[in-house]
Amino acid sequence: MKNIYFSIIALLLFSSVAVSQSYQRCATTEYTNELIQNDPSTVDRMNQLEGAVQNWIRNNKDEVERNSGAVITIPVVVHVVYRTSSQNIPDSRIFSQIAVLNEDFRRTNSNASSTPAGFVGVAADTEIEFCLAVRDPFGAAHPGITRTQTSTNSFSTNNQIKYTATGGIDAWPTSQYLNIWVGPLGSQLLGYAQFPGSGSAATDGVVILHAAFGRNSPIANYNLGRTTTHEVGHYFNLRHIWGDSNCGNDQVSDTPTQQSSNFGCPFFPRVTCINGPNGDMFMNYMDYTDDACMNLFTAGQKIRMVGSINSSRAGLISSKGCDAPVVGIEPLSSYSLFELFPNPTSDKLNLNIQFTEQLDFEVDIINMLGESVANYTYKNTLGGEFEMDLITQPKGIYFARILVEDKVYSRKIIKD
């Protein structure tokens, strides 16, 4: 079968990073290469997803264009992982980054007027917005920001920042939230993202260097929050604008073919690959230019992102993460009514719960995808000790959600 997405050879032969740059603008291509090398079937999965995206675009492009104004809102949880106080960025920087994402994706960015006249006609409001989550996966009120102190000096593309066991923090259900990990990265790396369908659900999301996150971050040229805009573009299945090869294909028809990545802020026009009088679209968010130089997504990139969300990230559309929490739900740390043991467990999980009157209650076991894998309902009971079977479930992290009358209690479970 012909690979309509990309070939392994194309990925491995062409590096997306200019070695002469002091910072590595993006490691998404390298990260994807690692996933492919560890599991060659990754290419087949990504090609299948590409086929689904292209099919969705063929069937829905006209409707999306007619129904302009149908905004998709994405719930975001930001996981700050820090070793030093300077890495523990303030809420204000996080708020500013969410604002930058909304401005860039809705084309309300202050430098939108800098788009060259030759590209204005294809510049697009993607009608994708972002909110910091206001509830956790169980419906309890939450600010959408987690903070974890680590003993790790720096992280890399090995995903250790995404696991509590390796010095980071576990993801919230990745089918329901865009998880963004922010922390110290090594090798002068600014960030990387996981393409849809390319890796484990537990590692799905975006990773950004703390010093390049939000407005007025300390790295000159990368201090306007566009590293996150770029990586979220990858998360929604956008390729680098040069297609990660010499005059390559980014699967978008209205972005000019260009020879390779651009850095700094070139003079317009910069013509490569015989790409016409306007040359490279180096001000596109999916190039490598300075933050201040970037200013647009195109209509073609918009339909590709919307198609990818509907094909592979539809849970983000139905997520309740941006909805106000339900009154009466207890916070995640409220365990006073019950005990779960043993935890970690290899097969059985016991729940000890006691009531002062006869009540109905329900236990839902939820995996990292946000899916219910087991459900137990108990009627008219004073409580006691109840056994739940996890023996058929794979090793990993789960959550037990216990519903008692109008309250919800929750706890993390580890199956080893």
Contact status, residue 151 vs residue 165, Cβ threshold 8 Å = no
Cα–Cα dist 144/213, whole Å? 16
Contact status, residue 231 vs residue 276, Cβ threshold 8 Å = no
Cα–Cα dist 281/271, whole Å? 9
Catalytic residue among 129, 231, 339, 387: 231
What per-residue string of b and e applies to 157-185 under the rule 16 or more CB within 10 Å gives b? bebbbbeeeebbbbbbbbbbbbbbbbbbb
Contact status, residue 127 vs residue 68, Cβ threshold 8 Å = yes
Q: Residue 358, Cβ neighbours under 10 Å: how many? A: 10
The reply to whether 371 belongs to the active site is no
How is residue 408 written in tokens?
């919800």
Amino acid at 384: G
Contact status, residue 132 vs residue 94, Cβ threshold 8 Å = yes
Contact status, residue 408 vs residue 402, Cβ threshold 8 Å = yes
On the 0-12 / 13-18 / 19+ scale of CB atoms within 10 A, 218 is: exposed
Residue 81 gets the label, from left (phi > 0), alpha (psi -120 to 50) or beta, of beta
Please list the alpha-helical segments (H only) found in 329-393.
none
Count CA atoms within 13 Å of residue 61 on its CB side: 11
The structure tokens 């706890």 sit at: 411
Active site residues: 231
